[in-house]
Amino acid sequence: MENKKTNETLLMIIWAQSLIATLGSLFFSEIMGYVPCELCWMQRIFMYPLVVIYGTALIKKDLSIALPGLILSGIGMFISLYHYLVQKLPALQEAGGSCGTVPCNTEYVNYFGFVTIPFLAGIAFIIIFVLHIMLLKNRGRN
């Protein structure tokens, strides 16, 4: 019984993380007025469905519904990592300048010298991915 409760708690945390990341991206674009670059849009494409996927899995209490979330979060991690590297590595910054209407090497925020929007998205994807792996391991023990 406790393992089931742990799984529900992890699923709730994953859903909350995806919701916070989605609302955060909407805050930056709709309230702060930061126009998303092409890589930001790709990250949104992989993050936004996670709210629905994990929300449905949580309501139905069925982790098998959430398998696409593991795949989407895994791909999203790599997009975020690449985007972050485009912003921070001089060798990739030039490539990020020709990304689209808004250059992908644009840093709208840069807290503490390293926390940018792709960094925040990457952390969200990592949290979701790792917690989903933990869920799968817990389910395997049952």
pLDDT one-digit tens code per residue, 94-134: 766 667 788 888 889 888 988 999 999 999 999 999 999 99
Res 116: pLDDT: 93
Name the residue with higher pLDDT: 41 or 142.
41
In this structure, are residues 109 and 117 in contact, taking their beta carbons and an 8 Å threshold?
yes
Write down the pTM of the prediction.
0.90
Res 140: pLDDT: 63
- Euclidean distance between the first and the last CA atom of the chain, given in angstroms as a whole number: 10
Res 1: pLDDT: 43
Q: Where are the alpha helices (DSSP H) in the chain?
A: 2-26, 38-60, 67-88, 90-96, 117-141
Res 137: pLDDT: 87
User: Residue 10 CA to chain centroid, in angstroms?
Assistant: 16
Res 105: pLDDT: 82
97 CB contacts (<8 Å, ≥6 apart)? 103, 104, 105
Percent of the chain with pLDDT over 90: 62
Report, as an integer, the average pLDDT of 10-26.
Answer: 96
Res 98: pLDDT: 64
User: Residue 28 — very low, low, confident or very high, per pLDDT cuts 50/70/90?
Assistant: very high
Q: Which has the closest alpha carbon to 110: 120, 100, 101?
A: 120
For the chain, give the mean pLDDT.
89
